[in-house]
Amino acid sequence: EETNRLFKTLIRQGQTALSLAFDLPTQLGMDSDDPRALGEVGKVGLTINSFKDWETVFDGIDVGSIFVNSVSNAQAVVTLAMHVGIAQKQGIAPPALKGSLQNDILKEYICRGNFIYPVQHGMRLATDSFMY
C-alpha cells in the first residue's frame, strides 16, 4: 500500500516510469512467512508474496500508460506473468505494456550466490521471457 501511494504521487508529479526492486526473500521466491526469510522481509525492497500483492501495488494505476521496470532476476518470469495479469484485468493487451525486466540469472549465480534454479533452467526461463 505504501508503494502504491508513492507511485501515485510520483505519477501525479509527472513520473512516466516506475522501478520496482524486491527484498531478498521475494528475489529468491520465498513467502514472507518462510523461516529463512526472517529479518529480511521488506529490508531492502518491496515484498511480493502473491498476485494480490502485485494488485495492491498497481491499484488505480493504468499499467498501459506507464513504463514499469522490475529488478526480478531468477523469478522474472513470475513478475512478468503478474504484470500481464494486471494488464488483462485492466483490459490492456499485453503488447501495449512498456517496461523491462532485470532478468540476469548469471549475475545472481556468479556474483551473489543467490539463485532459485540451476543455471541451465534459469537460463531457459530467462530466454523464454525474452521470446515472450
| Gap between the Cα atoms of 132 and 122, Å rounded | 15
In angstroms, rounded to a whole number, what is the distance separating the alpha carbons of residues 27 and 48?
9
pTM summary value: 0.88
pLDDT for 114 equals 74
pLDDT in tens, 80-109: 999 999 999 999 999 999 999 888 777 777
Q: What is the pLDDT of residues 46-82, one digit of tens each?
A: 999 999 999 999 999 999 999 999 987 778 888 999 9
